[in-house]
């Protein structure tokens, strides 16, 4: 099937499957009951990311059988579906970190092994090419990315619009290269995310759940490693594209650690969560993130592709204002605003 009709089918299927999940959530025990740190006040269906998980999985198998994805890269991608299944179990029975983290570590090691390691990284002043160090960084990056995407999925639409933005840009940036694998998967992720957003935009009718957020974070990490190997994008381009999420999650974690708070405990002190309470609107914050992505990070990502030798410097320039914004919004500190 040609790509455009396939994308249209995935988009429509995502709308339908997400709607069905929303209707059957109570029977499937996929309801998110609000707690003290929740951004919603009523029980809301969760696990809607299962639609993205299923559709991307079917498309990945189809592309592999069609000869579009090499065996080693297909095997690496299978780890993302293990992570998605782990997230689904977590949505159903709330797994503890001691059960989740070893599986995440093994899945990340599986990815790096089948990809044959991680491509060298140009830091401008030097090129890091040590295979062991690069592999360790790749494993850490995959685990951090899947968890930070989970952390950032806290208000309506923000994680889904980020998914759409990143894949629109990755598709645009690699479309003229020979990176067919990333082009195909980005197009499917974009279509599935857009279909899910129909039900996830504020006020959300259904949430991604861990099955969605952890799967998305992990597979985006795999796409980043693939583009580095294929020499279509650098790690700095991916840092820029995911800048809002990377900065907010990292600054929040750093502040909490400095303040002696446990990094793995649930909280509602991310910059975007403080902003949502300040503006009393999920949609306003999500739209602001989209504006930052489109009018600041997108041009910087494009520039990093045009001048890869300055990728590290462009990344610093792109993320610098986001760090200042995160500090202004008191990332890592729970801020309540009067009604």
Task: Indicate the pLDDT class of residue 40, thresholds 50, 70 and 90.
Answer: low
Is 304 within a domain?
no
Length of the chain, please? 339
Is 31 a domain residue? yes
Q: Considering only the C-alpha atoms of the chain, give the largest distance between any 2 of them, rounded to a whole number of Å.
A: 58
State both tokens at 75: 């095997």
The answer to whether residue 239 scores a pLDDT higher than 90 is: yes
Q: Are strands 44-45 and 127-128 parallel, antiparallel or unpaired?
A: unpaired
The residue that leads in pLDDT, 334 or 298, is 298
Domain of residue 196: give its range.
Answer: 3-233
pLDDT at 61: 97
What 3-state class would DSSP assign to 122?
Answer: strand
Q: Is residue 281 part of a domain?
A: no
Residue 23: inside a domain: yes
The proportion of the chain whose per-residue pLDDT surpasses 70, expressed as a percent, equals 97
Would you say residue 133 has pLDDT above 70? Answer: yes
pLDDT of residue 1: 66
The rounded distance, in Å, linking the Cα atoms of 49 and 215 is 8
How do beta strands 121-122 and 127-128 pair?
A: antiparallel
Predicted local distance difference test score (pLDDT) of residue 28: 87
| 245 in a structural domain | no
**Residue 306 belongs to a domain:** no
Mean pLDDT of the chain: 94
Q: What is the secondary structure of 14-55 as a DSSP string? A: HHHHHHHHHHHTTTTT-EE---TT-S-SS-EE--TTHHHHHH
In a domain, 80, yes or no: yes
pLDDT over 70 (residue 219): yes
Q: Dump pLDDT digits (tens) for 92-114.
A: 998 988 899 999 999 999 999 99
pLDDT computed for residue 265 by the predictor: 77
The per-residue pLDDT for 131 is 97
Residues 6+ apart with CB under 8 A from 77: 60, 69, 185, 219, 222
Lowest mean pLDDT among 146-155, 259-268, 288-297: 259-268
The values of phi and psi at residue 32, to 5°, are -100, 100
Residue 322: per-residue pLDDT: 98
Instruction: Say how far apart CA 219 and CA 253 lie, in whole Å.
Output: 22
Question: For 55-103, what is each residue's pLDDT tens digit?
Answer: 999 999 999 999 999 999 999 999 999 999 999 999 999 898 889 999 9
Find the mean pLDDT for residues 149-166.
96
Is 18 inside a domain boundary?
A: yes
At residue 338, does pLDDT exceed 60? no
Q: What pLDDT is recorded for position 264?
A: 73
pLDDT band at 26 (very low <50, low <70, confident <90, very high): confident
The number of domains in the chain is 1
- Structure-token pair, residue 220: 């985006």
């Amino acid at each position: 099937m040609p790509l455009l009709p396939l994308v249209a089918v995935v988009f429509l299927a995502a709308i339908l499957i997400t709607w069905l999940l929303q209707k059957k959530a109570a029977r499937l025990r996929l309801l998110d009951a609000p707690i003290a740190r929740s951004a919603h006040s009523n029980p809301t269906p969760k696990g809607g990311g299962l639609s993205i998980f299923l559709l991307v999985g079917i498309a990945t198998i189809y592309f592999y059988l069609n000869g579009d994805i090499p065996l080693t890269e297909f095997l690496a991608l299978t780890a993302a579906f293990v992570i998605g299944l782990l997230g689904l179990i977590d949505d159903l029975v709330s797994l503890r970190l001691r059960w989740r983290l070893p599986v995440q570590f093994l899945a990340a090691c599986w990815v790096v092994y089948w990809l044959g390691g991680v491509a060298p990284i140009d830091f401008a002043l030097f090129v890091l090419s040590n295979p062991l160090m690069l592999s360790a960084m790749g494993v850490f990056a995959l685990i951090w990315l899947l968890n930070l995407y989970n952390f950032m999925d806290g208000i309506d639409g923000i994680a889904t619009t980020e998914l759409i933005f990143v894949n629109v840009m990755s598709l645009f940036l690699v479309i003229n290269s020979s990176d067919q694998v990333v082009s195909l998967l980005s197009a499917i992720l974009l279509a599935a995310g857009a279909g899910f957003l129909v039900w996830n935009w504020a006020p959300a009718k259904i949430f991604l759940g861990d099955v969605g957020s952890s799967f998305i974070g992990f597979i985006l990490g795999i796409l980043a490693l693939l583009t580095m190997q294929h020499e279509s994008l650098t790690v700095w381009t991916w840092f820029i594209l995911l800048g809002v999420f990377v900065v907010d999650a990292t600054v929040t974690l750093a502040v909490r650690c400095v303040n002696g708070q446990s990094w793995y405990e649930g909280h509602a002190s991310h910059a975007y969560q403080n902003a949502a309470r300040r503006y009393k609107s999920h949609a306003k914050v999500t739209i602001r993130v989209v504006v930052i992505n489109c009018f600041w990070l997108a041009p910087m990502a494009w520039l990093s592709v045009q001048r890869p030798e300055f990728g590290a410097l462009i990344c610093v320039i792109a993320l610098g204002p986001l760090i200042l914004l995160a500090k202004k919004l008191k990332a890592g500190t729970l801020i309540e605003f009067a009604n």
